[in-house]
Amino acid sequence: MIVSLLYRAARRLLSVPPVLLRRDTAKDAELFVLRHENTVLRRQLAGPVRYEPADRFWFAALSVLIPRRRWREVFPVTPGTLLAWHRRFIAAKWGYTTHRRTGRPPTPAAVKTLVLRLARDNPGWGHRRIQGELARPGHRIAASTVWEILNAAGVDPAPRRSGPTWRELLTAQAEGIIAADFFHLDTALGTRLYALAFLDHGTRRLHITGITTRLTREWAVQQARNLAADLGMRRESLRFLLRDRDGKYGAAFDAVFEAEELDVIKSAPRDPRMNAHCERIIGSIRREALDHVLIVNEAHARQVLAAYQRHYNAHRPHQARRQLPPDARERPDATVHALDARRVLRTRILGGVISEYRYIA
């Protein structure tokens, strides 16, 4: 198609009379020299001359300027060959077979990815259910097309589709788990303090219920009661309490949560990885706050941990929640307009150990 357009444009440009009809003696002599040189070169060649597509293009285009009766003596090919080249370039204009595809247009890659995601997230959905769900955001494709996408990807039909992976199963179970673990901290004078942390696996919300210098079962039971009062409506969606086998918990501690219809699950002995979420949050508390502050006494420790808890729940981003803090219900607008009219405000937590940043007008 492009070659045909170039060919027609070249013929029109070469046919402009003001440029090509200007003849003089020097030009005629030059043409005679070139023509004689062409004759000598033909006589010396042993085999046929092979012309490139560009050579054929220009010979066919220049033929419009020369009378047909002189083609045999001017051009190095026969008039029939010249006409065949001309017909080939003209025919390229109407050759749409290489640019046209028959049948349905291909399904966009984004739609194929969405089909596979719906099948992966919902093992019980068949191809017709997925087709109906795709129609809601405006992707109207045939049910047979959905089936072909699933079949090509090796996804079995819904009744025989493989079950969820361990990661998917544990993620679903995490919505109903809250974990508990003790940790300690030392004051500047060497006094050891103990604290109890609870972490909601579903929301990643941190609860530091209390601090004491004497870790007893009675104190642990009181912290369990405080947590049960703080959970509120969240208690209805919780099903399990995960803790280690520390003797400071006791049966009364478990009874508080069993009264709220939670099953108490104990980790294996000396296996902190079974309570990895709590171990990780305790490590974050140490790295981000306690390692940078000299704790004076129990009241100071309570103030420091309360400030960190507020920061953790209200501001600190979490990868598991798409960079949202636990208390955020929806993602804020990531696009900030009129940057010149706004400035960034830094809020110092714990005297600058932790920083929070916000835009203000």
Model pTM?
0.56
* Predicted pLDDT of residue 97: 57
Q: Which CATH superfamily includes the segment(s) 171-321?
A: Ribonuclease H-like superfamily/Ribonuclease H (3.30.420.10)
Domain ranges of the chain: 2-94, 109-163, 171-321
Angle between helices 127-135 and 143-152 in degrees, nearest 10: 120
* Predicted pLDDT of residue 203: 85
Q: Which residues of 316-348 are buried (b: 16+ CB within 10 A; e: fewer)?
A: beeeeeeebbbebeeeeeeeeeeeeeeeeeeee
Q: What is the percentage of the chain residues whose pLDDT exceeds 70?
A: 78
Binned at pLDDT 50, 70 and 90, residue 96 comes out as low
106-143 tens-digit pLDDT: 888 888 888 888 887 777 788 888 888 888 777 888 88
Q: Which two tokens stand for residue 126?
A: 């068949």
217-263 tens-digit pLDDT: 999 999 999 998 888 767 778 888 999 999 999 999 999 999 988 88
Cα 22 to chain centroid, rounded: 65
4-47 tens-digit pLDDT: 777 777 767 656 554 545 556 666 666 766 776 777 777 667 66
Q: Tell me the C-alpha distance between 204 and 326, whole Å.
A: 6
Binned at pLDDT 50, 70 and 90, residue 65 comes out as confident
Q: State mean pLDDT over 265-288.
A: 90
